[in-house]
Amino acid sequence: MTITYRSDVTVKAVRTSAMDHDVTQAARVSTLGAEAIDAQGSTKGLINFLMRDRHGSPFEHNSFTFYIEAPIFVAREFFRHRAGWSYNEESGRYKELNPVFYLPAPGRPLVQVGKPGAYTFEPGTDLQYTVASGVAAEAYRHAWSSYQVQLRAGIAREVARNVLPVATYTSFFATCNARSLMHFLSLRTSKENAKVPSFPLREIAMVAEEMEAHFAEHMPVTHAAFEKHGRVAA
């Protein structure tokens, strides 16, 4: 197989069962009981109240399932999000992995300025980008060759994979609800209107931005309230 280099991510919406009415219906059961099933009323006003006062549970009665392709180092950050999330990932024990590796795109900040807890990332020079890409590509070629040598020698996939870097692309399904998705977005995007600043890894932010676009499309009132109240998860 030919080695492939990527600088992007793939985010596909597999299944979506989510709309703003799900939130208001769940919220109204507290005062209406069974009548909440057919109740109508102000969606925007109620959702803004719930978001402002952080009444979070009504935002859990919906579901988003995404298929994601990203480097392993992105998946490992993703899997730190546990409350309200479910994952299934392709397995290097059961299938031969594909020779697809991550290279930073031109313009991806390369230089860390400042100390831990108080730093920023700035663009690198053309030379730094050439070095970063060239060294990485050479390491990937060597790692892939080492992986293939082991497989041809009959060594188990779960052992042979140990030589592959975290820049190898993996694929996984991720399922969440709107509340857990908003918590993810509050941490994995960087927005000027956020009440709590976040400094996410650029590559996981790329995934988050595509997920947020889908969220805004299907739950526009909830997303607008999320934005209005400082991108703090309810």
Question: Using one digit for the tens of pLDDT, what is the confidence trace for 50-84?
Answer: 999 999 999 999 999 999 999 999 999 999 999 99
Q: CB of 55 within 8 A of CB of 157?
A: no
* Mean pLDDT value across residues 14-32: 91
What rounded mean pLDDT belongs to the chain? Answer: 94
Radius of gyration of the chain (CA): 21
**188 in catalytic set:** yes
pTM for the whole structure: 0.93
Q: Which helix or strand (DSSP H or E) is residue 114 part of?
A: strand 111-115
Whether pLDDT at 42 is above 80: no
Placement of tokens 């991720």 in the chain:
174
Q: What is the distance between the alpha carbons of residues 172 and 74, in angstroms, rounded to a whole number?
A: 11
pLDDT attached to residue 35: 62
Nearest Cα neighbor of 10 from 123, 167, 171 is: 171
Q: Please tell me which residue in 108, 188, 202, 231 is annotated as part of the active site.
A: 188
* Mean pLDDT value across residues 100-118: 89
pLDDT attached to residue 229: 95
Q: Which helix or strand (DSSP H or E) is residue 58 part of?
A: none
